[in-house]
Structure 1
Amino acid sequence: MAGTHKAPTGEQRGEGIGAQLKAIRLSRRKTLAELAERSGLTKGYLSKVERDQVNPSVASLMRLCEALEVSVSTFFAAAAGEVVRHDAYPSIRFGGEGMREYLLTPEGERRVQAILSVIGPGGGSGDEPYVLPTGVEFVFVLEGRLRVALAGEEITLETGDALTFAGDTAHTFTSVTDDGSPTRVLWVLAPALTTPKTG
């Protein structure tokens, strides 16, 4: 049953998302072969992820979290408290490539979750569509251009554009800036992420 195991703490997991996933897998007493079978990902790919040689796509991370029975929020290392200072946003790892992400809401907040993504040109969630276990997603482009593939349609969002959609809608996103600058995006999820699922 999901949630019956306690995941290792941030200190126990190490820095990279691969090291964190490996520590969780070992705490579950699962082999790479077992995790590969449960997640639908190859053993070779998982080995590279665990050694931080490749970053998993968001969809792959969803599959791994589901197979390991952990919440995506396991990878969010925000300190408890209501204020998150602008010069101390907690960095989170949420899969994808060419981007950095920061948690703007306190870790224990479950009603809503705000995430800031700084996405380099061509970076994003990866090619495989994914869904999140949340009711609604709100996307606001602070700077740059973001292409969102949503339910078979491609939407390009410019600076100042916003998009709202159901969390169970399969989607991907990519930064498509022309001048080489990063795209900065605010994501708001309601309710906050709990147990992930694949899409």
Structure 2
Amino acid sequence: MSTIGNRLRAARAARRLTLDALASTVGVTKGYLSKVENDRASASVAVLVRWCDALEIPMGSLFDDVPHGDVVRAGEYPPIALGGHAQSEYLLTPPGEHRVQVIHGRIERGGGSGDESYELPAEVGFVLVLTGRLILTLDERTVQLDDGDAITFDPRRRHSFRAEVDTTVLWVLTPSLPFRHDRTRIETTP
């Protein structure tokens, strides 16, 4: 399985961008980009969103080698990485599912999306806190979610999150983040 860093480096090389040029566009240092490309650091979600935008690749393409099928067995959830720190994420829906994307997340105390807020290309976002405490910031509003709490929000609004204690969440996005290998979306892209 290809790492996110490898995929980002390959996408940058395909666009013939230098680290300097990309760093300027993304708003970070070239040293930071290099560390992420070499899997020595992980990017915040906001940086990863800008990075994918700059490379003109869908975020879903960073984990498009997840096996296809409509059954995802317990204990076999494919790991994905949408950025952030001190968290593990697992895809619960098949990659070819366009209507909805469900992600199981484990966030360590103090972990989350990073300090900078971000937007995602989906119409509806939903998060259910299975255990722990999640602090979700939507624009200027901050919401504390404890065990069993849920919120539905517009992921196109600027948002960020962090865990105050070890936290387990269920994220739902609709429609799902686009995938590069998805023939339907490729054919409809100009």
TM-score under structure 2 length normalisation: 0.89
Please, which of 108, 115, 132 is the counterpart of residue 144 of structure 1?
A: 132
Match for residue 52 of structure 2 among 60, 65, 87:
65
The offset of 1:108, in angstroms, is 0.7
Q: Unpaired segments of 5 or more residues in structure 2? A: 180-190
Other-structure match for 1:25:
12
Match of 2:68 among 73, 80, 99: 80
2:144 — aligned with what? 156
1:188 matched to 2:188:
no
TM-aligned CA deviation for residue 78 of structure 1: 2.1
Please, which of 61, 80, 85 is the counterpart of residue 97 of structure 1? 85
Moved over 6 A (4+): none
Q: Which moved more, 1:144-153 or 1:127-136?
A: 144-153
Deviations 1:127-180 (A, max 9, x none): 000010100100000111101111212111001000001121111100112xxx
Residue-by-residue CA offset, 1:57-109 (whole Å, 9 max, x unaligned): 00000011001111110122321111111110000011000000000000011
Summarize deviations over 1:16-50 as a string: whole Å, max 9, x none. Answer: x2222112212222211221233222212212221
Q: Using the alignment, how far apart are the partners of 1:75 and 1:117 within structure 2?
A: 17
**Kept after mapping to 1: 8 A contact 2:61/2:178:** no
2:119 to 105, 117, 131: 131
Distance in 2, matches of 1:84 and 1:125, equals 25
Distance 2:108 2:21 in 1: 34
The offset of 1:51, in angstroms, is: 2.0
Moved more, 107-116 or 147-156: 147-156
Match of 1:3 in 2: none
Aligned residue for 1:30, secondary structure, equals coil
CA RMSD for the aligned pairs?
1.4
Please give the alpha-carbon distance, in whole angstroms, between the structure 1 residues aligned to 2:150 and 2:48.
Answer: 25
- 1:49 paired with 2:2, answer no
Deviations 1:168-197 (A, max 9, x none): 1111100112xxxx21100000111128xx
Q: TM-score with structure 1 length normalisation?
A: 0.85
**Structure 1 regions of 5+ residues with no counterpart?**
1-10
